[in-house]
Amino acid sequence: MQSLSDKPYIRIPALIFIWLGALVFIGLIVRTERVRFRPDPELAISLANKAQNVTIRRDDFGVPHILGKTEADVAFGLAYAHAEDDFSTIQAVVAASRGQLSRLHLSSTSLQNDFYAGMFRINERTEATYEEQISDELKSIFQGYADGLNYYAIKHPREVDGRFFPVQAMDLARGFVHKIPLFVGTGQELGKALATTEDDIPDEDRQNSEAFMLKPGPGNAQEFGDQESLETDAWYEDYAMVASNAHAVSRLRSADGLNRLNVNSHQPWDGAVAWYEAHLKSEDGFEMYGATFPGSPLIFVGHNQKLGWTHTVNTPDLVDLYRLKTDEDHTKYTVDGETLELRSRDVDITMDLFFFEVTVSRTVYDSIFGPALESDSGIIAVRVAGLENHAGSAEQWYRMAKANSFREWTEAMKMQSMPMFHTVYADKDNIAYIYNAKLPVRKPGADYKGIINADSREYLWDDYLAYEELPAVTNPPSGFVQNANSTPFYTTSEPYNPSRSDNPQYEHIESRLTNRAFRSLELFGQDPSIDREEFLRYKFDRKYHPSAPIFQEAVYPVLEGFKPTNALEAEALEVLRNWDGTAHPESKGAMLAILTWRPIWKALVVDRKSPDQTPDPLETFADAVDYLLDTGNLDDPLHSRQKLIRGDTILGMGGGPDVLNAMHVKDLDGWMGWAHPEWQKIYAGDSFIMLAEFGPNGVQSFAAQPYGSSMRPDSRHFADQAPIFQKRLLRRTYLSELEIQFRTLQSYHPGQED
């Protein structure tokens, strides 16, 4: 009798299964060895000794107060503490800045990141400018931070992908060179360039269209997807940093003689640009309290013992596109009748396919206008303001933190290595606003919002406005300054504002006035004597001004133009008409208004499109109505729809887009989206909030975050600040040694936390 093992129809599949299993097993072994972190034993001993110079003290909210003998020791401690709370994000930041994010985790976002990093030579530019733009003091801080990361990796090897460790000091500078162009809008402009078609070639050039057109083949826009996919991927979205509030009130308008500063950036609550709160102090005299991003050794917003500052995102035109006039083979291009060599190079993108890696190449070009890429309308160069100085932005933030007076702080700002950001400043004697921008001096005549024909140097710029030429307001008699991602020409009460007519280059500065600016001018401008309670009440305001963009761009057009075709649509129109114009938790109609406006807001603010490219509000209203009816009622209270979700913590929230108590929502995904399609998850908005007060007795501050100090679900500080945040409360920060000692729940040297 034939056994089962002798039957071919059983034996052959069994052998195939065994062989496949063996291949998978071998593949797993190979992969494990490929990503294994193998630290140098001598390095481990050296870093263990350095860790003895650092003490990390965690207070009752898990905020790290880091004390080191030197600033480099403090950076060591910051890196270690932040890695304890969010190592995976820091590792991803290191990979992204090297242009190797697709080796860590493969996605459309990682592929686009790595292409961008290669096109803009992030690695090469960092290496070329590191010695010149980074001081020896900051280099030692970078090295200290790298050491702290590496020591964490040595102590926790199972979390580490060995392909990215050990980290080097230059990796920290690389992070600045990588992020800054994305902050200024380079991602959006790349999307615009890749989305162009033959129809975008100007009529006057169609007779010579051979010079602009591409032949089918590798490297053109089709490889990156069509326009719709470019928009939905929005790989740059996290870096768009869509909103923030900044206010400073001087003793001229303060009820108690204190100068106050509101630090209120609206960042994503997770990821590469989520805030991390920390208090840094060295025995050689440095101290700073505020917030930073994963992978950075510097505090970006906050205060030292003398002064403080904060940023909001501005949108000066800092990126221009140029269409090159090339020969048929794309080896030469013509400028002013002169034929120049069009240098091509390959951008190598390495993809991790789990068992093995594959490298693909994409062709880009270098021109006098900037790095260039192929699109369906020709080869387009991208020129980014201040590209050669972006490593120096780290040096500028460092000097700002080291300043002990408004004069010293201003000298740091004059470096202009940081090419953007509205910046609001305060100390005990001064308040100030500066429209910080590396603003090119452009010749009039070209459409700089579109794509400029690069057959002439006429519109090629190299010079920038000096710091003293930028819009600014210092110590106005009105007693306050504000910015909420709006035009600088409405910073305070009249007649103390800068004017657009002051400089012809100001035409390249945004003109948009946000609701938060309308309300800030109204609330702070009408109160002649503001105490702490009033200051915070204004900061947490949830009302929309009748002239706010949500009304102008969504609500009014719908009320005037939407024609209901059934009873439910008529009911929806009445809900919108009766909306109270607030984002209070109980507001009925708020979610309908928000969802109607959200696609329009995204197109204008995140994607930086022109008004004629935004969705039709009548269509977005219809979509919002369908969603609300499918998942609940049209007039559900806002808090029943809008949720802070963090592990097991789920809280209904007020606030909304473009109110001073800002919240931005998105559809839930995964199983929770299936279980609760009616919920909208808050993913950004009010994030790190700080109120700093400056007076004759020094500085004190109060702060809050939406989640907690840790991104690890098993941490007690994963969501412990959420209830405080929901109630719009701030907790006192601990600055004095006595306070810190009293509030410390855990004190340890790095590596000795257990």
pLDDT, tens only, 609-636: 889 999 999 999 999 999 999 999 999 9
Instruction: Judge if 427 and 555 occupy the same domain.
Output: no
CATH number at residue 143: 1.10.439.10
Token pair for 337: 């009748």
Burial grade of 499 (CB within 10 A; 0-12, 13-18, 19 or more): exposed
Give the domain extent around 351.
41-200+208-221+319-387
- The reported pLDDT for the residue numbered 2 is 53
CB atoms within 10 A of CB 398: 21
Q: Is 461 left (phi over 0), alpha (psi -120 to 50) or beta?
A: beta
Domain identity same for 626 and 499: no
Residue 172: pLDDT band (50, 70, 90) is very high
Say how far apart CA 96 and CA 25 lie, in whole Å: 30
Please write the tens of the pLDDT for every residue from 655-700.
Answer: 999 999 999 999 999 999 999 999 999 999 999 999 999 999 999 9
Give the residue from 134, 97, 435 showing the smallest Cα distance to 273: 97
Mean pLDDT of 562-576: 97
For 669, list phi and psi in degrees, rounded to 5: -120, 180
Paired tokens of 240: 């768009």
pLDDT over 70 (residue 242):
no
**CA separation for the pair 680, 125 (Å, rounded):** 41
**Cα–Cα–Cα angle for 457, 459, 463, rounded to 5 degrees:** 95
User: What is the pLDDT averaged over residues 339-363?
Assistant: 95
Segment (H or E) for 558: helix 556-561
Q: Tens digits of per-residue pLDDT, 463-478?
A: 999 999 999 999 999 9
Whether residue 733 is predicted with pLDDT greater than 60 in this model: the reply is yes
At 239, the pLDDT band (50, 70, 90 cuts) reads low
pLDDT in tens, 184-203: 999 989 988 888 777 666 65
Whether 226 is covered by a domain: the verdict is: no
pLDDT value at 437 more than 60: yes
pLDDT at 19: 77
Average pLDDT over residues 361-379: 95
In residues, how long is the chain?
754
Asked whether residue 465 falls in the same domain as residue 515, the answer is yes
Residue 265 contacts residue 312 (beta carbons within 8 Å): yes
Confidence tier at 240 by pLDDT (50, 70, 90): low
CA 611 to chain CA centroid, nearest Å: 23
Q: How buried is residue 724: exposed, middle or buried, by Cβ count under 10 Å (0-12/13-18/19+)?
A: middle
pLDDT at 230: 43
| DSSP classification of residue 450 | S
Q: How confident is the model at residue 6 (pLDDT cuts 50, 70, 90)?
A: low
Please report, for residues 138, 175, 311, 367, 658, the alpha-carbon distance to residue 391 in angstroms, rounded to integers and kept in the order given: 11, 9, 19, 22, 32
Does pLDDT of 15 surpass 80?
no
User: 575 and 649, same structural domain?
Assistant: yes
Query: Which is more confidently placed, 11 or 398?
Result: 398
A 10 A CB-CB count for 365 gives 23
182 Cβ contact list (under 8 Å, min separation 6): 116, 236, 239
223 in Cβ contact with 362 (< 8 Å): yes
Specify the 3-state DSSP secondary structure of 171: helix
For residue 219, pLDDT over 60 is answered with: no
Mean pLDDT, the chain, whole residue set:
92
Over residues 355-378, mean pLDDT: 94
Tokens 């008409």 label which residue?
A: 577
How wide is the angle at C-alpha 334 spanned by C-alphas 328 and 335, nearest 5°? 160
Last residue of a domain, one of 485, 511, 539: 539
Q: Return the H-helix or E-strand segment holding 688.
A: strand 680-695
Provide the β-strand partners of residue 473.
433
Q: What string of H, E and C letters represents the secondary structure of 305-358?
A: CCEEEEEECCCCCCEEEEECCECCCCCEEEECCEEEECEEEEEEEEEECCCCEE
Q: State the DSSP H helix or E strand holding residue 576, giving kind and residue range, or none if neither.
A: helix 567-578
Q: Quick one: average pLDDT of 429-439? A: 98
What is the C-alpha separation between 577 and 261, in angstroms, rounded?
A: 37
Token pair of 497, please?
A: 């504002």
Tell me, yes or no, whether 411 and 326 share the same domain: no
Mean of the pLDDT values across residues 152-163? 96
Q: Which of 387, 407, 428 is the last residue of a domain?
A: 387
Q: Where does the pLDDT of residue 354 fall: very low under 50, low under 70, confident under 90, or very high at 90 and above?
A: confident
Residues 460 and 535 in one domain: yes
- Name residue 347's amino acid: V
pLDDT of the residue at 213: 40
745 found inside a domain: no
In this predicted structure, the answer to whether residue 648 has a pLDDT above a threshold of 50 is yes
Instruction: State mean pLDDT over 538-544.
Output: 98
- pTM of structure: 0.93
Q: Check residue 215 and give its pLDDT.
A: 38
What pLDDT does 132 receive?
A: 96
Domain C-terminal end among 363, 387, 411: 387
The full 3-state SS of 511-524, as one line of letters, equals: CCCCHHHHHHHHHH
Q: What is the dihedral of CA 552, 555, 561, 564, to 10 degrees?
A: 170
> In this structure, what are the phi and psi dihedrals at residue 129, rounded to the nearest 5 degrees?
-110, -5
- The per-residue pLDDT for range 245-279, each reduced to its tens digit, is 999 999 999 999 999 999 999 999 999 999 999 99
What pLDDT, on the 0 to 100 scale, is given for residue 14? 74
What's the CATH code of the domain at 302? 3.60.20.10
| Cα separation, 206 vs 79, whole angstroms | 56
Number of separate domains in the chain? 4
Confidence (pLDDT) at 500 = 97
Is the bond into 166 cis (omega within 30 degrees of 0)? yes
- Cβ-based neighbour number of residue 629 at 10 Å: 14
228 pLDDT above the threshold of 60:
no
One domain for residues 380 and 398: no
| Tokens, residue 510 | 């945004």
Q: What is the CATH number of the domain that holds 728?
A: 1.10.1400
Residue 100 predicted with pLDDT over 60: yes
